């Protein structure tokens, strides 16, 4: 998601469009942009990629704004319905508000039930509709206090953008689980899920929004309010493994450097006798470079990726995921034929992709296939907005490493240790959530399904 409060007469809708385009890897189910012209909020949203949802006509209909927020959705809670596309734009007694949210609230159901008990009617399954209602109920306290009250009531992972006719608000959850960064484009502030979008729109990165920070931007500038925060933060370490784009920086750590270091550490932890190191594009490629450099085994381009196919992990169901792998990647026969290959991928979630990758390399003539994974086994579900709904979907939950090796058909398999992964993000000054690897979560999630 991305938001801008304009101070320079910019075409805010175009800036948000290009920013969302750079963030497309974070979600492919739906896209939307809401624009405030100072008097009212207008919006357009739909199902599909940014380029599917917006055309010249819809972009023209959004022109003339002073502030805008946009969102691309990766289904985390709620059904895949148009009604659940974001931003959520709704009216309340002081005017209109638009909201977008990344992450997942762990007490959304309880809050929703409480609100329903007192007569609130919901139109979507979105956590963000609960948030909108909490803000609207307290708005007589003033916007700042209504936001603080809402923050005191919600739990879980959230990076939130909120816009009224004359204000843009950004909030990061007290543990900083999901990333959120602040940038500047001329005299205008921008806020985005990842810094790679700043590069695309020509903005300068200023800093990350702090855990528990509430930022309010209006024509008079930026106000930062620090709400009470826990003793330690818990940034999602999976951002560095898979989710974020390699050219982003999160909480002071370059995703590229972390991935390359993960590859080097993997080479030390799980060496292999081989002729060539190849990476599974895109997020495995950087770790493969690190593995090759550290091991002295040459790096080669073993796969060609069809750039027009979405990330398989994000696809909605198993059938689509299986088809997705086959159309997405092709092994380069000329490069891998007759060789002992070390193939590096960022993670194994369900095992679907890894099995196909090993098959593809063997069909292309690889003599041996040694799979190396630049993160530990994903063994537990994620309660914070990553689509790993139940632990039993995960191959790492049900099988040991040697069993997984057999299932995917590799000659050997090695995962980076949790200690090794933590070393790759050393120096960030924050702590990390590693729940999907360790089963230990930074918030109380005992009552949720595992």
- Which stretch in 42-50, 111-119, 215-223, 379-387 sits in contact with ligand SF4 by CB under 6 A? 379-387
Q: Which of 33, 294, 382, 395 lies at the binding interface for ligand SF4 (CB under 6 A)?
A: 382
For ligand SF4, the closer CB: 104 or 315: 104
Specify the residue, 250 or 292, whose C-beta has the smaller distance to ligand SF4.
250
Burial (Cβ within 10 Å: 0-12, 13-18, ≥19) of residue 330? middle
Report the nearest approach of ligand SF4 to the CB of residue 394 (Å): 11
Rounded Cα gap, residues 55 and 10, in angstroms? 19
Query: Contacts with ligand SF4 in 409-448 (CB under 6 A)?
Result: 433-436
Stretch that binds ligand SF4, among 26-34, 132-140, 381-389, 402-410 (CB under 6 A): 381-389
Cβ atoms of residues 390 and 450 within 8 Å: yes
Is residue 348 part of the contact set for ligand SF4 (CB under 6 A)?
Answer: no
Interatomic CA distance for residues 343 and 54, integer angstroms: 38
Q: Kindly provide the b/e burial profile for residues 191-206, where b requires at least 16 CB atoms within 10 angstroms of the residue's own CB.
A: bbbbbbbbbbbebebe
Find the shortest distance in angstroms from Cβ 173 to ligand SF4: 11
Contact 185, 4 (CB under 8 A): yes
Query: Measured between alpha carbons, how far is residue 30 from residues 73, 120, 210, 240, 259 in Å?
Result: 5, 26, 28, 24, 28
Number of CB atoms found within 10 A of residue 128's CB? 27
Are 131 and 101 within 8 A, CB to CB? yes
Give 196 or 250: the residue with its C-beta nearer to ligand SF4.
250
**Could you tell me the smallest distance in angstroms from the CB atom of residue 296 to ligand SF4?**
32
Tell the smallest beta-carbon distance from residue 175 to ligand SF4 (Å).
9
Q: Measure the CA–CA gap between 129 and 140, rounded to whole angstroms.
A: 19
Options 15, 177, 358, 410; binder of ligand SF4; rule CB under 6 A: 177
Diameter over CA atoms, the chain: 72
CB of 371 to ligand SF4, least distance (A): 21
Window 390-409: residues binding ligand SF4 (CB under 6 A): none
**Residue 436 C-beta: closest distance to ligand SF4, Å:** 3
Backbone angles phi, psi at 151, to 5 degrees: -60, -40
Contact positions with ligand SF4 (CB under 6 A) in 214-243: 236-238
Task: Find the binder of ligand SF4 among 17, 54, 74, 384 (CB under 6 A).
Answer: 384
Nearer to ligand SF4, 201 or 436 (CB): 436
Nearer to ligand SF4, 32 or 156 (CB): 156
Q: Is 269 exposed, middle or buried (0-12, 13-18, 19+ CB in 10 A)?
A: middle
For ligand SF4, the binding residues (CB under 6 A) are 177, 236-238, 382, 384, 386, 433-436
């Amino acid at each position: 998601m991305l938001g801008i409060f304009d101070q320079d007469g910019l075409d805010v809708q175009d800036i948000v469009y290009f920013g969302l385009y750079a963030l497309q890897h974070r979600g492919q189910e739906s896209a939307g942009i809401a624009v405030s012209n100072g008097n009212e909020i207008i919006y357009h949203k739909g199902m599909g990629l940014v380029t599917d949802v917006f055309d010249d006509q819809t972009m023209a209909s959004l022109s003339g704004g002073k502030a805008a927020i946009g969102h691309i959705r990766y289904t985390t809670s709620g059904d895949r319905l148009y009604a659940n596309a974001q931003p959520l734009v709704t009216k309340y007694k002081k005017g209109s508000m638009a909201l977008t949210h990344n992450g997942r609230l762990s007490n959304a159901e309880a809050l929703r039930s409480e609100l329903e008990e007192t007569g609130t009617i919901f139109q979507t399954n979105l956590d963000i509709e609960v948030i909108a209602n909490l803000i609207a109920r307290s708005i007589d306290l003033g916007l700042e206090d209504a936001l603080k009250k809402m923050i005191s009531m919600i739990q879980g992972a959230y990076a939130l953008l909120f816009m009224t006719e004359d204000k843009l608000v950004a909030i990061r959850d007290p543990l900083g689980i999901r990333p959120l960064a602040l940038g500047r484009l001329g005299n205008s502030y921008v806020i985005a899920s990842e810094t790679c979008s700043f590069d695309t729109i020509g903005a300068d990165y200023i800093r990350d929004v702090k855990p528990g920070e509430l930022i309010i931007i209006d024509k008079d500038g930026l106000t930062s309010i620090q709400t009470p925060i826990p003793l330690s933060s818990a940034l999602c370490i999976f951002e560095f493994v898979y989710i974020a784009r390699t050219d982003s920086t999160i909480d002071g750590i370059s995703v590229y450097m972390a991935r390359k270091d993960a590859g080097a550490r993997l080479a030390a932890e799980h060496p292999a006798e081989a002729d060539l190191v190849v990476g599974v594009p895109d997020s495995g490629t950087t770790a493969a470079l690190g593995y090759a450099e550290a091991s002295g085994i040459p790096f080669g381009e073993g796969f060609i990726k069809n750039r027009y196919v979405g990330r398989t992990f994000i696809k909605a169901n198993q059938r689509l995921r299986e088809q997705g792998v086959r159309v997405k990647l092709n092994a380069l026969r000329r490069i891998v034929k007759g060789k002992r290959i070390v193939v590096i991928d960022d993670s194994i979630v369900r095992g679907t992709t890894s099995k196909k990758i090993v098959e593809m390399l063997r069909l292309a003539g690889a003599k041996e296939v040694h799979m190396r994974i630049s993160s530990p086994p994903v063994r537990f579900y994620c309660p914070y907005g990553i689509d790993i709904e139940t632990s039993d979907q995960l191959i790492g939950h049900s099988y040991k490493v040697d069993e997984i090796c057999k299932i995917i058909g590799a000659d050997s398999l090695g995962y980076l240790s949790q200690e090794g992964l933590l070393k790759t993000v050393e120096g960030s000054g924050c702590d990390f959530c590693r729940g999907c690897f360790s089963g230990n979560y930074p918030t109380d999630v005992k009552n949720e399904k595992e």
